[in-house]
């Protein structure tokens, strides 16, 4: 939850190191992190391993915090499950007293995603103002967009998300958050925005919480800067081969 702001454990730092090595060849344009300590430390560790953007500023955002669990915060998961059972409900839909509902978490995720979309559109407009659309799209290099998980998905999945274009992405954004929050965010992508999923993804995988430092990769297309109809393709979900 949010109320117990503990640092990473030794295991957590090892996992963050592994994720940083895994993502070391990806040139990010932006890094956003939850403002909770464990996420901040994870983001800093990942960026510290990066070959291209060690000095990139990490921006902290409270909208990326873990779900708030109210009276259950700081207590074992078994306590939360017992509270849910006593209320005749089940996790994760159960909301402890003082906690956030799933709808409230999803609203935070929607608000932050729309902020990212606006950011990408503004970048595109700035690029066109500086260079002109024709010169910009003619010769961008892809050498620093080496995604380590391309071996784990088909070429079709990658090309379907970027229209086959071979130009530099306008924004390549690393977001570091928390398990329950991200499960709700992905649910928003799928149910509200019709995100295209990998063909081999099972329903249980879609509803599961990511392992610590699990990596999910989404390609977002905003055709003609249309913020209302983003096209979203999930390349991989909760990837953990680096652990």
Q: May I ask the CATH architecture of the domain 10-67+101-127+170-239? A: 3-Layer(aba) Sandwich (3.40)
Q: Is the pLDDT of residue 233 over 50?
A: yes
Q: Where is the binding site, in residues?
A: 38, 66-69
Confidence at residue 135, expressed as pLDDT on a 0 to 100 scale: 46
The per-residue pLDDT of the chain, averaged, comes to: 87
Confidence at residue 163, expressed as pLDDT on a 0 to 100 scale: 41
* Mean pLDDT, rounded, for 51-64: 96
**Quick one: what percent of the chain has pLDDT higher than 90?**
73
- Cβ neighbours of residue 130 under 8 Å, at least 6 residues apart? none
Confidence at residue 166, expressed as pLDDT on a 0 to 100 scale: 37
93 vs 162, residue with greater confidence: 93
Q: Is the pLDDT of residue 84 over 70?
A: yes
Q: Is the pLDDT of residue 146 over 80?
A: no
* Mean pLDDT, rounded, for 133-145: 44
* Mean pLDDT, rounded, for 146-171: 51
* Mean pLDDT, rounded, for 95-100: 97
Q: Is the pLDDT of residue 200 over 70?
A: yes
* Mean pLDDT, rounded, for 161-184: 75
What is the residue extent of each domain of the chain?
10-67+101-127+170-239
* Mean pLDDT, rounded, for 121-142: 61
pTM for this structure? 0.87
> In this predicted structure, which of 89-103, 164-178, 229-243 has the lowest mean pLDDT?
164-178
What is the Cα–Cα distance from 44 to 174, expressed in whole angstroms?
11
Q: Where is the binding site for substrate, in residues?
A: 38, 66-69
Task: Answer yes or no: are the C-beta atoms of 16 and 8 closer than 8 Å.
Answer: yes
Task: Answer yes or no: are the C-beta atoms of 184 and 106 closer than 8 Å.
Answer: yes
Closest CA to 47 of 39, 97, 83: 39
Closest CA to 99 of 78, 69, 122: 69
Q: Is the pLDDT of residue 43 over 60?
A: yes
237 φ/ψ angles, rounded to the nearest 5 degrees: -130, 125
Confidence of residue 132 (pLDDT cuts 50, 70, 90): low
């Amino acid at each position: 939850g949010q109320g117990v702001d503990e640092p990473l454990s030794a295991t957590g730092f090892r996992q963050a190191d592994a994720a940083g090595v895994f993502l070391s060849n990806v040139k990010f344009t932006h890094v956003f992190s939850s403002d909770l300590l464990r996420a901040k430390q994870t983001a800093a560790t990942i960026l510290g391993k990066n070959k291209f953007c060690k000095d990139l500023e990490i921006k902290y955002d409270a909208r990326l915090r873990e779900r708030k669990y109210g009276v259950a915060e700081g207590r074992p998961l078994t306590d939360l499950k017992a509270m849910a059972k006593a209320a005749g409900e089940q996790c994760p839909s159960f909301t402890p007293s003082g906690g956030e509902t799933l709808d409230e978490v999803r609203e935070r995720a929607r608000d932050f995603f729309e902020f990212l979309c606006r950011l990408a559109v503004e970048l595109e407009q700035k690029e066109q103002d500086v260079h002109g659309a024709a010169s910009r799209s003619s010769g961008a290099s892809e050498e620093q967009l080496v995604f380590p998980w391309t071996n784990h998905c088909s070429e079709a999945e990658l090309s379907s998300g970027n229209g086959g274009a071979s130009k530099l992405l306008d924004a390549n954004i690393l977001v570091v958050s928390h398990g329950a929050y991200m499960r709700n965010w992905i649910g928003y992508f799928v149910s509200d925005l019709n995100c295209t999923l990998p063909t081999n993804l099972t329903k249980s995988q879609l509803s599961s919480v990511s392992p610590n430092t699990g990596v999910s990769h989404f390609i977002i297309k905003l055709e003609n800067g249309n913020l209302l109809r983003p096209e979203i393709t999930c390349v991989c979900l909760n990837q953990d081969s680096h652990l």
